[in-house]
Amino acid sequence: MDGVADFHRRALLFGVILIAGFALLMILLPKPQLPPISTLNGRYDNPCCAPVELINGRIIVNGQSRPFKIGFDKSSLYVLPDKYVGVQDARRVTVGGGFPLKLRVDNAQQPSSIQLWDVDRSTTFDFVKAAPARSHGARS
């Protein structure tokens, strides 16, 4: 019986060391840095609907302005408004009427699109960032 008890003690010790090592590794690994929220600033368009604007931590849809936060998860950078923002009936963007959903961002460093859900149709719509308007300087 001593051999079996010794085996169990060693297996338990190995398991504890393995878990402690994994926990330490998770603590020490660098976490992805969130980009400045202003990186997302711009107008995002999709032919289905009115544009969506992101400006300094606010999402603006059809004249309604709501705050949002950004974060990373296993998939990507996301925008999380304080209320549901999504496409309805594949033809308009709505605010409210459900739980907030993560809006996926295609590229954390240089975002060029965000993804909104149409939960009724179980599909997503990519809203593409519009090119910034060119300023026309004074001519001499």
Q: Residue 52 pLDDT > 90, yes or no?
A: yes
CA 110-111-116 angle, to 5 degrees, is: 170
pLDDT tens digits for range 111-134: 999 999 998 889 999 999 998 766
- Asked whether residue 39 carries a pLDDT value surpassing 90, the answer given is yes
pLDDT at 140 over 60: no
Residues in Cβ contact with 88 at an 8 Å cutoff, skipping those fewer than 6 apart: 94, 118, 120
Provide the whole-model pTM.
0.73
How far is the C-alpha of 94 from the C-alpha of 119, rounded, in Å?
11
Task: Identify whether the C-beta of residue 45 lies closer than 8 Å to the C-beta of residue 109.
Answer: no
Segment 101-113 mean pLDDT: 93
Phi-psi region of 39 (alpha: psi -120 to 50; beta: other; left: phi over 0): alpha
